């Protein structure tokens, strides 16, 4: 009789790698992915004017234990998912040139968009979330800052708005394709038919989430929204059109620079 294979403990390298991959998939699907959709939904209130947007931000700020929730449900899961994802990306060996299967391409794109999404999210968090935590920006400043940044141009090109559109596209692809990987790795979609149905379903989800986020960027950059998606602002509500244009737009129009107030003595 052959000897029984000894059970491996959780500390064994193979078991540890298996559990970390499962945790990586789980954190991307639920806390990080869920927050992505929630964040886009909250920001979409901007289409109703600054007052509605500020109310949505203030409502979040009034949540009990907000710092603990932000750290425990957003920052730590995101940090783990990002760092372990970079490790997986560096260890991966893409071979799409040899095996041009669709899922092989999706595997490669998942790694590429993960790195791009990490860079974009880090940039976005530094620009707004970190500035709020450091006391350099009040929540009421988010709306005018977003209007100014998205509408600003370099040589007539809205660079920041384009960065946000590409960053949102990378983040949403990584999220939607990650949902497919989550269902596959957790044994939810076992059959080929279930996997094909999941690919279609999550593709539609990804498209809708992308349109939700991109629509807000387009609004901040141009003051307009995608056809059929605009939420009418209340009468008298302050919008981006009521705010002074960014300095780059004033210079392009030949308008004089606004005078800088002297520092108080």
5, 79, 84, 126 from 27: Cα distances, Å: 32, 10, 11, 22
- In the predicted model, residues of the chain with pLDDT beneath 70 are 1-14, 94-101, 230-236, 244-265
67, two tokens:
């710092």
What pLDDT score was predicted for residue 104? 82
Contact 161, 150 (CB under 8 A): yes
What distance separates the 2 farthest-apart alpha carbons in the chain? 92
The token pair that represents 248 in the structure block? 């780059």
Residue 265: per-residue pLDDT:
38
Q: Which long-range contacts (CB under 8 A, 24 or more apart) does 16-22 make?
A: 20/84, 21/88, 21/185, 22/185, 22/186
Please report the pLDDT score of residue 146 as a whole number.
95
State residue 105's pLDDT score: 86
Burial of 84 (0-12, 13-18, 19+ CB in 10 A): middle
pTM: 0.83
> What pLDDT is recorded for position 7?
53
Look at residue 255 in the predicted model and tell me its pLDDT: 45
pLDDT of residue 259: 43
Cβ atoms of 181 and 81 within 8 Å: the answer is no
- What is the C-alpha separation between 56 and 225, in angstroms, rounded? 19
């Amino acid at each position: 009789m052959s000897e029984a294979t000894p059970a491996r403990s959780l500390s064994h390298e193979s078991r540890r790698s298996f559990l970390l991959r499962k945790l990586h998939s789980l954190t991307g699907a639920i806390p990080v992915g869920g927050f992505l959709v929630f964040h886009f939904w909250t920001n979409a209130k901007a289409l109703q004017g600054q007052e509605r947007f500020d109310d949505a931000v203030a409502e979040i700020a009034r949540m009990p234990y907000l710092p603990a929730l932000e750290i425990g449900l957003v920052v730590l899961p995101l940090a783990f998912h990002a760092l372990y994802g970079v490790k997986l990306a560096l260890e991966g060996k893409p071979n799409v040139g040899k095996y041009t299967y669709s899922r092989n391409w999706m595997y490669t794109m998942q790694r590429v968009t993960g790195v791009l999404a990490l860079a974009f999210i880090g940039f976005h968090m530094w620009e707004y979330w970190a500035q709020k935590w450091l006391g350099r920006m009040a929540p009421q400043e988010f709306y005018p800052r977003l209007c100014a940044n998205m509408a600003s141009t370099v040589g007539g090109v809205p660079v920041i708005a384009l960065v946000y559109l590409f960053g949102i596209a990378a983040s949403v692809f990584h999220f939607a394709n990650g949902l497919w990987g989550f269902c596959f790795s957790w044994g939810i979609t076992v059959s080929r038919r279930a996997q094909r149905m999941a690919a279609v379903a999550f593709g539609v989800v990804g498209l809708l989430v992308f349109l939700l986020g991109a629509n807000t960027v387009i609004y901040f950059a141009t003051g307009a929204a995608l056809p059929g998606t605009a939420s009418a602002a209340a009468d008298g509500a302050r919008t981006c059109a009521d705010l002074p244009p960014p300095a780059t737009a004033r210079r392009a129009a030949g308008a004089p620079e606004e005078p800088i107030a002297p520092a108080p003595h």
